[in-house]
Amino acid sequence: MSKINFLKPDKQNLSTYLYTGSFLFFIAVFDVFLSSFFKINITSFLPNFVSFLLPLILGIIGLHLVRIEFSGIKNLDLLNKNINTSTFNAVLTLLIIFIIIKSIPPIMSWFILDANIAGDTKEACTGSGACWTYIKIWLRRFVYGMYPNDLQWRINISFILLIALAFVGYFPSEKLRKFLTLYYVVIYPIIAFVLIYYLISGGAFGLEWVETGAWGGLSLTFIVSFFCLIFCFPVGMFLALGRRSELPTLRYISVGFIEFWRGVPLITVLFMSSVMFPMFLPEDFFMDKLVRVIIAISLFEAAYVAEVIRGGLQALPRGQYDAAKSLGMGYWKMHIFVILPQALKLVIPGIANTFLALVKDTPLIFVVGLLEIVGMLNLAKTNPKWLGFAMEGYVFAAIIFWIICYAMSRYSYNLEIKYKTER
């Protein structure tokens, strides 16, 4: 056994370094664990300052001792390479571990251990944690807005139908497959519009009329983002083609349109649609608030979609255009069959990002007085019977939005992989 130098761990005394190092590291983590979960400070005999920093110091020494290059133990090498390359990295590693340990108990107690979900009044919430009773009682309002309770099945059924119809594309026969694009671009939006108009709005076939002012909550978020998504895509595509067109008038109009919408914030666009746009319409002409909002958001997002698609068009090599032209294809044939399929494939991530932005922008419709989920939260928060639960509401909405947006970004990532073609 050679001399042990604690400043410079080496391979000769591997086990000594390893055991001392792991022991110190373990003590450090254990100390933080105890103080965090059981409020026990095992180093309370030390001065305050030292007792506070002790785990960090012990941890650094411990990690320093196990930092042995080419130790021959596979897991140790892997560990050193990933979290323990230098003293600086060791400090960061320790800090992150400590923060995680420290933050688990308060989060757990707020979310679950000290939270209440029983009962149906404010008084049922006695714990110091979250009051999920509030969410439970208001859930219908958060999902359906002011839509009458006994009619909510209409919203459910139309959403189920819409989702089912969206999956039609997966099982057609070979013959019908070529009509798929037509189906998704033209027929599906029309079906969706008819469904929502007659089923959710009502007013025909013996269904009671529900005005759009009563729509709200999460279902309104879905309706607005769904329609904007459907409308902004074709508009954006035409704008992109217009911007790349050889005809100067078309090009300048497209450029002006795109730059205008991209330069202003959505909130002013919504202001425009609610206070300025009615001035531009004939006096006796009435356009529903929701329709105006959907048009405004669609035009706004179309400008962004256009820029994304333009990027794809520009990325295509000239040869594709030349080849299509040499086959005698005209402008539309060339774009529909050769250029756009390839360009759109290239810009899937960009388009997905724009759609994500669209979904995240929908809460802004509070400007015109439509209350989707965030708006409903703000309404519920001011209800005198349920004061003081703002936090629960926002956390609830944040979780829902996070799941939607994260799922969308994952899905687009999968699409990107699926349609990736080697050139």
Q: Please answer whether residues 122 and 386 qualify as being in contact, where contact means their C-beta atoms are separated by less than 8 angstroms.
A: yes
Q: What are phi and psi of 360, to 5 degrees?
A: -70, -20
Cβ proximity to another protein: between 194 and 387 the closer is 387
| Closest to another protein by CB, 53 or 398 | 398
Residue 114: CB minimum distance to another protein, A: 16
CB 165, min distance to another protein, A: 27
Nearest distance in Å: CB 242, another protein: 9
Its sign, for the CA torsion 126, 127, 131, 137, is negative
**Choice between 92 and 157, CB closer to another protein:** 92
Taking the complex as a whole, the smallest distance from the CB of residue 167 to another protein amounts, in Å, to 25
Q: How far is the CB of 408 from another protein (least distance, A)?
A: 9
Instruction: Enumerate binding residues for another protein (CB under 8 A).
Output: 81-83, 85, 89, 92-93, 96-97, 246-250, 253, 259-260, 262-269, 271-272, 275-276, 278-283, 356, 359-364, 366-367, 374, 377-378, 381, 390-391, 394-395, 397-398, 401-402, 405-406, 409
- Nearest residue (CB) to another protein, 52 versus 260: 260
Q: Contact at 8 Å (CB) between 306 and 313?
A: no
Q: Which residues of 337-368 are buried (b: 16+ CB within 10 A; e: fewer)?
A: ebbbebbbebbbebbbbbbbebbebbbbbbbb
Q: Answer whether 269's CB lies under 8 Å from 263's CB.
A: no
Q: How far is the CB of 191 from another protein (least distance, A)?
A: 29
Q: Which two tokens stand for residue 119?
A: 């009962």
Q: Are 378 and 366 in contact (CB under 8 A)?
A: yes
Least distance in angstroms from the C-beta of 249 to another protein: 4
Would you say 165 or 368 has its CB closer to another protein? 368
Answer whether 413's CB lies under 8 Å from 406's CB.
no
Taking the complex as a whole, how short is the minimal distance between the CB of residue 172 and another protein, in angstroms? 34
Question: From the CB of 361, what's the least distance to another protein, in Å?
Answer: 7
Shortest gap between Cβ of 200 and another protein (angstroms)?
23
End-to-end distance of the chain based on CA atoms, in angstroms? Answer: 61
C-beta of 281 vs 315, nearer to another protein: 281
Closest CA to 39 of 136, 106, 110, 88: 106
